[in-house]
Amino acid sequence: MAVRRRGLLVVALVCLASGCRPAPSSSPPPAPTSTQSPTTTTTTVTTTPTTTTTKAKPTTTTTTAKPAVTGKVVVLDPGHNGGNASHPSEINRLVPAGRGQTKACNTTGTATNGGYPEHAFTWDVTKRVQAILVAHGVKVVLTRSNDTGVGPCVNERAATGNAAHADAVVSIHADGATATSAHGFHVAYSSPPLNAEQGAPSVQLAKDVRDALVHDGYATSTYIGSDGLSKRSDLGGLNLSTRPSVLVECGNMRNATEAAAMTSAGGRQRYAEAIAAGILSYVG
């Protein structure tokens, strides 16, 4: 043990005398330690967006609408009146009816089996037709102003259309045939004609109204006329007219199906729309 200590002492003295240093390391020196975050260099290139403008052709949407019928005059004649039944002496007096005839001033009209009167039906439908025509720019004249009066007489109704220089006169009625199979509408016109306006113009008006009713699904009459048209020589309002004139019997009030349509607001609106379409087709 003493010998080992001496040996170590000798070695230590030799190293001191010769300037012993640690042997150089073969590993590269460690990289200096930095506390800074890594620096990232970002190059921003701003590109101005290129906008290419292409001029597009304007898009035009065309809506087909019925043109306004300005300057036209239509006389609507709602058949009968609400006060007729209570004034028999007034409505039964005879008045001129054309072709050398005389007829009662007016009548009470018919009714459904349930009691809905023709005068109420014709007044309601007429007001609906009036609203449609006015919306299209037509001037409308009525032969009576309410559904509570008496008359007017058939000759006075014709005079209203004549005085207005009407482009069309349309009298609105409903029939009261009692035959169980009787149903459908018909459009009457004066025949043989007594003047030029009762000829081709009235026939064309009758056809236009007929066609509009058929188009809307109404059946033509099974008991009077032919193909929805009826030539008449006995109707004073038509005989005395000097304007294109027709009388529409919308259907048979005694027929259950047609009575149901006539007594409903929706049914009367449908009649009005069809009649108005026929009139607009004629005057347009």
Q: How far is it, in rounded angstroms, from Cα 275 to Cα 282?
A: 11
CA distance 242 to 14: 156
Residue type, 187: V
SS3 of 281, please?
helix
- And the tokens for 268? 């009367």
Task: Name the amino acid, one letter, at 137.
Answer: G
Give dist(CA 68, CA 88) in Å, integer.
Answer: 43
| AA identity, residue 28 | P
Is residue 124 helix, strand or coil? Answer: helix
Q: How many helices (H) and strands (E) does the chain have?
A: 8, 8
CA distance 60 to 22: 97
249 is catalytic: yes
Is the CB of residue 171 less than 8 Å from the CB of residue 208?
no
Distance CA(118)–CA(182), nearest Å, equals 17
Residue tagged active-site, from 156, 249, 258, 273: 249
d(Cα 111, Cα 204) in Å, to the nearest integer? 30
Residue with tokens 């033509």: 220
Q: Which sequence positions are flagged as catalytic?
A: 249
